[in-house]
Amino acid sequence: MGPRLGEVLETARVVSLPLRSRFRGLDHREAMLFEGPAGWTEFSPFVEYDDAESAAWLAAALDFGWRDAPAPRRDSVRVNATVPAVPAAEVEGILAHFPGCRTAKVKVAERGQSLADDVARVAAARTALGPEGRVRVDANGAWNVDEAEHAVHALAEFDLEYVEQPCATVEELGELRRRVKYMGIPIAADESVRKAEDPLAVARAGAADILVLKAQPLGGIARALSIVREAGLPAVISSALDTSVGISMGLHLAAALPDLEFDCGLGTAALLAVDVTDDPLLPRAGQLPVRRVAAQPELLHEFAAPPERADWWFARLERCWELVG
């Protein structure tokens, strides 16, 4: 049995956390947190997401707060650094917040920027990591097939581990994969999984080599694990700019996977200037421990969202509650 709405509202708090650098057009990250019998949990779909999409995030939050996570197969998870679409000169400073990380995911295809900006940023990441490091890029579906093919050629000299969601649709991903397969650069799907009515369609179409999975938007750990089993592709577990509470959910998902070939995108608490705990999940020696995180009342109070924003989140929670059923 899940909780009653009243139980969730009792402990629910909304925070607005400043970021170290602008990311996805945001300077602050808003999130709602509440505590269940299994521990603190997080409901934080981005504000532009509609209620139907956001309901899966609520289902995940309720699952993590009211049910025990699967037994872990590992007690720590290697994570990648995440480089926002910053000028190349800032890349080394960003990477300093991810000590010991051997992999960097670099954001590309930012609106208002050029491919030359992307090349300079990826080059800076490669220089900082050295030849032994791993560099992957994420376009968030912003390129068409021709643009993506051109970009892959331009970035190939930096020995890419993979290209994440270069195009928006499954059909485009499949076409791009056919065009660049001879280059040996894998295609990873993120939005084509978490935003799709059928998250397995991209695997069935042979349009990706790797799946990037996030626990919240997929409705929780159990559903994400079932997608990995059915897809039969290697998975990278990532976050959605969560607080350390949400990162903990992703870590428990990563820890439950039978195989974990790639470093995971769960180090993003390092992009936050503050967190909801004074013991945040920050990379040390390129890894994160698999553990639950308790939100601290004084930090929930200090970084509480303005009343009008909190009201917006509570209204959203109640609407999504009706959809979760």
Whole-number Å distance between alpha carbons of 301 and 297:
6
Residues 148 and 271 placed together within one structural domain of the fold: yes
pLDDT above 70: residue 1: no
The number of domains in the chain is: 2
For residues 100 and 192, state if they share a domain: yes
Task: Answer whether residue 325 shows pLDDT above 80.
Answer: no
Residue 309, domain CATH: 3.30.390.10
DSSP letters for 149-162:
HHHHHHHGGG-EEE
Q: Are residues 170 and 277 in the same domain?
A: yes
Q: Are residues 121 and 185 both part of a single domain? A: yes
Is residue 316 domain-shared with residue 194, that is, in the same domain? no
pLDDT digit string, tens, across residues 188-198:
999 999 999 89
For residue 176, the enclosing domain spans 76-289
Q: Do residues 166 and 201 share a domain?
A: yes
261 Cβ contact list (under 8 Å, min separation 6): 234
Residues 60 and 199 in one domain: no
**CATH of residue 215:** 3.20.20.120
**Residue positions annotated with a catalytic role:** 107, 214
Asked if 148 and 184 sit in the same domain, the reply is yes
Residue 162 dihedral angles phi and psi, to the nearest 5°:
-170, 165
Confidence of residue 12 (pLDDT cuts 50, 70, 90): very high
Structure tokens at 293: 């995180």
29-36 average pLDDT score: 98
**Are 216 and 282 within one domain?**
yes
Block residue for tokens 């009706």: 322
**Known binder of ligand: residue 164?**
yes
10 is in an annotated binding site: no
The mean predicted confidence, pLDDT, of the chain is 97
- Considering the domain architecture, whether residues 206 and 305 belong to the same structural domain is answered as no
Same domain, 88 and 53: no
pLDDT of residue 232: 96
Q: Is the pTM of this model over 0.75?
A: yes
Residues 89 and 161 in one domain: yes
pLDDT average, residue stretch 103-111 = 97
Q: Is 190 annotated as a binding residue?
A: yes
At residue 129, φ and ψ (nearest 5 deg) are -85, -25
Residue 23 tokens, joined: 């990311």
